[in-house]
Structure 1
Amino acid sequence: MNIQQARVPQSCPPGFLARYTVKPGDTFYMIAQMFRVRLEALAVNNPHITNPNIIYPGDVLCVPGLVAFPCCVSLHARGRVPFGTGGVGYINFAPQGGQAVNIMATLPQPSFFGDYDIYTGDIFIPDIGGFGNQLSPTPQAPPNWSTRVELPTVASITPNSQIVVTPFNSVTGRTGPIILEGFVTNVTCS
C-alpha cells in the first residue's frame, strides 16, 4: 500500500497565516467555500500543492487569517479575585466556517462581584467592534464557565483584539467590571 506523505508549507504568506489540515472527503472547492475565499487565491497561496484537484488527508493549507490559529490567549485577572480565578481564549475555525473564540474560565459565582447573575465573554476586534455570548457554568464548586463566540464570516480576528469576561445583570442590563482580560498577538498565537 502506497501512503501519501502529507504536504506542509514552510510558511504562510501575509494574510494567510492560519493553517487547515485536509480531512477525508475535502476538496479545494469545499475548503475555499468554508473560508469564504476565492478558489484561485487559495491555490496561489499554497504553492506546495502543485495540483489543487489532488489533495490528500493530512495535507496542510494556508488559509486566510491575520492571526495564526489555532491558538490560545491567557486571560489574566484584573483587580481582586479569589485564588484560582483565570481563563483562556481558544481561537480556531468555527464549525460552519469563519472563526470562533472559545472562552473557558474558573470563576466564582457572578454575585461575588456585586449585583450580577451571569457572565459574558466578548472579543473586541480593532476597527470592527465586539462580539460576545453568555458563559454557562459546570456543576463543580467553583464552576468552570465557558462559551463559544462565532464571528460573522466577514470579520477576522486581528492582533490587538481583546478578549474579556465580565459579570452582567440579566434583569437590569448592567455590565460589571472586566474580571479577566487577554490580548491577541502574533506571539501568543503562532
Structure 2
Amino acid sequence: MYRQQARIPGNCPPGFLGRYTVIPGDTFYTIAQIFRVRIEALAVNNPHIPNPNVLFPGDILCVPGLIPYPCCTSLRPRGRVPFGTGGVAYVNFGPRGGQAVSIMVTLPQPQVFGNFDKFTGEIIIPGTGSFGNQLFATPEDPPTWSSRIELPTAASVTPNSRVVVRPYNSLAGTLGAPVLEGIILAGNCQ
C-alpha cells in the first residue's frame, strides 16, 4: 500500500510561524476557518503544497501565529514555596479551534499559602486580557494540579504572555499572590 509522505515546510514566513498537522478530512477551507485567515493567505504561505485542493494527513502547514506551536514554558516559583514546587504550561491548538493552554504543576495543598481552598491557572495576554480556570488535583501527596484553558478563537497567545498559578478562596472570592509564573517568549516555544 502506497502512503503519501508528509510535506513539511522548510521554514514559515513571518506572521505564519505556527504549524498545523493535517488530519483526515481537513481542507484548506476548514483550516482557514479555524485560524480565521483567508484561504488565499493560507495557500500563499504554504508554497510546499503545490495544489491547495489536495492535502494529505500528516502534511504540515504554516498557520498564523506570533509564536510557533506547540510550545511550552516552565512555571517557576515566586517567593518562598516548598521544595519540589514547579510546573509547565503547554500551548497548542485547541480541540475545537483556536488555542489552548494546558497547565500542570506540583504544589502542596492551597492551605499552605493561607486561607485558600483551590488553585487557579491564568494566562495573561498583553493587549487582550486574561483567561483562567480552576486546577484539579491528583491523589498523590503532594498532588499534581492541572487544567486546560481554551481561548476564544479571537484571542491568540503572543510573546510575553504570562502564565500564573495562584491560590484562591472560593467562599470569599479572593485570589492570593502568584506562587508560580512563566513567560511565553517566541524563542522558547520551538
TM-score, normalised via structure 1 length: 0.97
What is the Cα deviation at residue 43 of structure 1?
Answer: 0.9
Structure 1 residues without counterparts, runs of 5 or longer: none
How many residues of Structure 1 are paired with residues of Structure 2 in the alignment? 190
| Residue of structure 2 in register with 1:101 after alignment | 101
Letter in 2 for 1:164: V
| Residue of structure 1 in register with 2:124 after alignment | 124
TM superposition outliers: structure 1 runs of 4+ over 3 Å: none
Secondary structure at the counterpart of residue 50 of structure 1: coil
TM-score, normalised via structure 2 length: 0.97
Structure 2 residues without counterparts, runs of 5 or longer: none
What is the Cα deviation at residue 37 of structure 1?
Answer: 1.7
| Residue of structure 1 in register with 2:74 after alignment | 74
What is the Cα deviation at residue 154 of structure 1?
Answer: 0.8
Letter in 1 for 2:62: C
What is the Cα deviation at residue 58 of structure 1?
Answer: 1.2
Q: Within 5 Å, which residues of 2 pair with 1:1-190? A: 1-190=1-190
Secondary structure at the counterpart of residue 79 of structure 1: coil
What is the Cα deviation at residue 2 of structure 1?
Answer: 3.1
Quote the sequence identity (%).
66
What is the Cα deviation at residue 128 of structure 1?
Answer: 0.9
What is the Cα deviation at residue 3 of structure 1?
Answer: 2.6
What is the Cα deviation at residue 131 of structure 1?
Answer: 0.6
Equivalents in 2 of 1:125, 1:19: separation in Å? 20
- Cα RMSD over matched residues? 0.9
The one-character-per-residue Cα deviations of 1:6-61 (angstroms, maximum 9, x if unpaired) are: 11111111111110111122111121122222211111111111100011111100
Secondary structure at the counterpart of residue 159 of structure 1: coil
Letter in 1 for 2:60: V
Letter in 2 for 1:143: P
Secondary structure at the counterpart of residue 84 of structure 1: coil
Equivalents in 1 of 2:40, 2:116: separation in Å? 50
Equivalents in 1 of 2:85, 2:133: separation in Å? 20
Equivalents in 2 of 1:100, 1:2: separation in Å? 35
Equivalents in 2 of 1:151, 1:2: separation in Å? 39
